[in-house]
Amino acid sequence: MHLLFYSNWYIKQTVQLANALAEEHEVTLIFPKISPELNAYNGRVEGLKAILKPGVRLITLPHMQNLNPFGWIPVLRALRIIKKYKPDVVHFNESYDFRCMLLMALCRKVPYVTSTHDPVPHSSERISLQRFKHWVRDRIRRRSSGLVVHGKGLRKVLADYSNLSVEKIFAVPHGEYKYYTHFDKGDLKHKENGNKNVLFFGRWEYYKGIDVLIDAEPIITDKVPDTLITLAGEGRLSLNEIDKRIANPDHFIIKNYSIADEEVPDLFRQADVVVLPYREATQSGPLHIAGSFARPVVVSSVGAMPEVVKDGETGILIPPEDPEELAQAVIRLLQNPAEAERMGQKAQALMASEESMEKVAQIQVDVYNMVIQAFKHQRGKGIILKVVELLVQKVKNDPSYQLDSAIHLSDLIAMSTRLGLGFLRGLYHRISLKRAKGLCFVGKGVKLSNRKHISIGCNFVAEDNCEIQGISKKGVKFGDNVTVGSHAMVRPSGYYGRYVGEGFEIGDRSNIGPYCYIGAYGGITIGSDVMMAPRVSLFAENHNFDRTDVPMHQQGCEKKEIVIEDDCWLASGCTILAGVTVGHGSIIAAGAVVTKNVPPYSVVAGNPAKVIRSRKEKK
């Protein structure tokens, strides 16, 4: 298999994975000529050839980073490289780079895999000022044939945030961090300062929780007075902000700069404990660096950290934003060096086994194989899938809607045929309607009677064999994006016109489920965003039955309006009787018979239905 990485960031991690993959596969790396991420070789990426295995091909290109007027140059170069070497997969690391999006648009003959390091933006990121790059990131994610996250629990997080199918998202371990071992001069026999050393390593950002460690310092040094805390890194938090928060400057070593790669091994070698007090994070490079250097960690239990750290064995997990818990965990390890050393050794063993780059490479290759097979299957149905997807997006008024890639080609053809015939039937029926706007899809066997009383909004769908009767005093009105389910019936009047009812109206984005019955003689008004499950019944009239000397069917009916307010859910088989108003945001349980008004945000169940709780109550 030939694998091509196009990466302008996360170069160090990519190099490690490339070396592991090169044992059995051909690997090509396309990196920028100069990278601010690389704190060795004067930032010149060509220097990485010293640590790359012979089977890895390194190509460096200019203008691969930032908004550069020459940004199209590396895209054209990358296109030529892809045509020349014909890789089976192109792999991006998490990218907000328009060049990646452009490359995907210009070269569609190869599947793309994107590693997603942060499925959700950190709370400190000013998204409003970076809308373009986040738009680009979302386009890349959607166009990728496969996405990689570094934790099993992150699959759903990414799927929910980016509105993607979880089936195209794969969990692959982050992997050990061997990169810095190339700059390691060996184990230190003793610490240079003779103190207990605590290390924070990484970017100085609010979400990293560096202030939580600073706040914990007085508690730590009260119990372990010879503690020194090293804060190493740089970021959006300024040194001035950090200095203001520090209570005891003598207990801190500040290294507020981009740490040279050659300096990193000594920082970790001298540390007794590595502290990562994140408020939020999905994965952590410093966590894996610590394990590679056999150092125990105290880390917040957020994101995928609990999947990597075995609490009490390879480190200690603490709740985020809790200086007291952090301090007690650090004190425990500083006062028990044998336990700290044991945890560090177990962490190193974990990195060399479960998190080894060799194992990560095997899992990654399995992902590539699945993506390649899915891509080949997808290409055969690509045009049909896109057409059907666009139609469904229009019908559902949801531009982010995606059909599951597992759908078979024959099913796509059947679906497109059904939509096409529905569209043609809609063209025929809409001519005689009172009012129609936008698309209209009508299934087979649909009965629309007295059409001059029926009005429909955009993207109206009448599924197979449903029946809509129009004759009524106020007419029958459907809002935008409304679906009437198969075999459902809407009847505002008597079937033969003996009694003319008040009418029926339903708002935008609401639906009538299959086999529902809407008896709107007394008038029924349904709001927007109302979900109606199968076999729901609404009766806006009651038969009179006061007299016993006259058959009931000859005594007429009493009309009482039913109102279903916005954002309600009528579950399967429930019945709403005449005169009832169901308040905004309420839920009617399956099989319930509602005879009285329902307050807003209520959940009702039973026969007769009773309020069992309010949705606004705290659980």
- Give the active site residue among 63, 91, 288, 543: 543
- Please tell me whether residues 374 and 333 are part of one structural domain: no
Reported confidence tier of residue 190, pLDDT bands at 50, 70, 90? very low
Q: Is residue 419 part of a domain?
A: no
Token readout for 192 is 């240079």
pLDDT over 80 at 123, yes or no: no
| Residues 289-332: tens digit of each pLDDT | 999 999 999 999 999 999 999 999 999 999 999 999 999 999 99
Burial class (CB in 10 A: 0-12, 13-18, 19+), 389: middle
Highest mean pLDDT among 62-66, 127-131, 509-513: 509-513
114 and 368 Cβ atoms separated by less than 8 Å? no
Residues 350 and 364 placed together within one structural domain of the fold: no
- Cβ pair 287, 305 in contact under 8 A: yes
Give CA–CA dist 151/170, Å, rounded.
9
Rounded mean pLDDT, 467-494: 93
Q: Check pLDDT > 80 for residue 406.
A: no
Q: Which of 476, 423, 474 is nearest to 449 (CA)?
A: 476
Domain assignment present for residue 401? The answer is: no
Sequence-separated contacts (24+) of 243-250 with Cβ below 8 Å:
245/211, 245/214, 245/215, 246/214, 246/217, 247/214, 247/217, 247/218, 248/217, 248/218, 248/221
Please determine, for residue 125, whether its predicted confidence score (pLDDT) is greater than 70.
no
Does residue 513 fall inside a structural domain? Answer: yes
Percentage, residues of the chain above pLDDT 70 = 91
- Our separate counts of H helices and E strands in the chain read 15, 38
Beta bridge partners of 325: none
218 domain-assigned: yes
Distance, in Å, from the CA atom of 303 to the CA atom of 30, rounded to the nearest integer, reads: 30
Residues 338 and 478 in one domain: no
Q: Quote the number of domains for the chain.
A: 3
- Res 577: pLDDT: 96
Q: Is residue 542 one of the residues assigned to a domain?
A: yes
The answer as to whether 619 is a domain residue is no
Contacts of 180 (CB under 8 A, 6+ apart): 261, 264, 265, 268, 289, 292, 293
pTM: 0.66
Cβ-based neighbours of 485, under 8 Å, separated by 6 or more: 463, 466, 511, 512, 513, 514, 515, 516, 534
Q: For residue range 223-259, what is the model confidence (pLDDT) as tens digits?
A: 999 999 999 999 888 889 899 999 999 999 999 999 9
Does 173 have pLDDT greater than 70?
yes
Residue 101 and residue 59 in contact, taking contact as beta carbons nearer than 8 Å: no
pLDDT of residue 393: 73
The answer on pLDDT for 191 being more than 60 is: no
- pLDDT, residue 333, reads 97
Considering only CA atoms, give the Rg of the chain. Answer: 32
Strands 557-559 and 541-543 turn out to be antiparallel
DSSP letter at 567 equals S
The answer to whether residue 584 is catalytic is: no
pLDDT tens across 142-163, in order? 999 999 999 999 999 999 998 8
Strand, coil or helix: 53: coil
Q: Which residue has the higher pLDDT, 124 or 196?
A: 196
Q: How many CB atoms lie within 10 A of CB 384?
A: 15
Q: Give yes or no for residue 76 having a pLDDT over 70.
A: yes
Q: Are residues 189 and 273 in the same domain?
A: yes
Nearest to 281 by CA among 321, 227, 238, 316: 321
**90 and 227 belong to one structural domain:** no
Res. 129: pLDDT tops 50:
no
Residues 166, 285 within the same domain:
no
189 pLDDT band, cuts 50/70/90, is very low
Please report which confidence band the pLDDT of residue 128 belongs to, taking 50, 70 and 90 as the band edges: very low
CATH number at residue 341: 3.40.50.2000
Nearest to 386 by CA among 371, 401, 370: 401
Give the end of a domain, one of 354, 369, 401: 354
Nearest to 483 by CA among 461, 468, 505: 461
Q: Is residue 413 part of a domain?
A: no
Q: Select the highest-mean-pLDDT range: 128-142, 337-351, 552-566.
A: 337-351
Among the listed residues 219, 295, 305, 301, the one whose alpha carbon sits nearest the alpha carbon of residue 264: 295
Residues 124, 264 within the same domain? no
Range of the domain at 604: 432-614
Tell me the average pLDDT across 256-278. Answer: 94
Q: Mark whether 205 and 107 lie in a shared domain.
A: no
Q: Which helix (H) or strand (E) holds 97?
A: none
* CB-based contact 450:429 (threshold 8 Å): no
- Predicted local distance difference test score (pLDDT) of residue 537: 97
Residue 595 in any domain: the answer is yes
**Do 335 and 364 sit in the same domain of this protein?**
no
Comparing 266 with 386, the larger pLDDT belongs to: 266
CA distance 452 to 459: 19
- pLDDT at position 495: 63
Reply yes or no on whether the pLDDT at 619 is more than 90. Answer: no
Whether the CB-CB separation of 5 and 32 falls below 8 Å is answered with: no
- Do 142 and 184 lie in one domain? The reply is no
Same domain for 164 and 287, yes or no, is: no
**pLDDT (mean) for 397-419:** 72
127 has a pLDDT exceeding 60:
no
State the pLDDT at residue 216: 97
The tokens for 244 are 């203001």
Q: Is the pLDDT of residue 535 over 70?
A: yes
| Selected residue with higher pLDDT from 385 and 482 | 482
Among residues of the chain, what percentage have pLDDT more than 90? 69
Task: For residue 383, count CB atoms less than 10 angstroms from its CB and return exposed for 0-12, middle for 13-18, buried for 19 or more.
Answer: exposed
Predicted local confidence at residue 131, as pLDDT = 75
- Residue 592 pLDDT > 70, yes or no? yes
Q: Is the dihedral of CA 307, 187, 183, 357 positive or negative?
A: negative
Same domain, 227 and 333: yes
pLDDT at 4: 97
Task: Write out the DSSP string of 295-325.
Answer: --EEEES-TTHHHH--BTTTEEEE-TT-HHH
Query: Is-cis flag, bond preceding 121, omega within 30?
Result: no
Query: What does the DSSP assignment read for 217-273?
Result: HHHHHHHSTTEEEEEE--SSS-HHHHHHH-S-GGGEEEE-S---TTTHHHHHHH-SE
Q: What does the pLDDT read at residue 308?
A: 94
Average per-residue pLDDT in the chain?
Answer: 90
Weakest mean pLDDT among 191-195, 219-223, 353-357, 476-480? 191-195
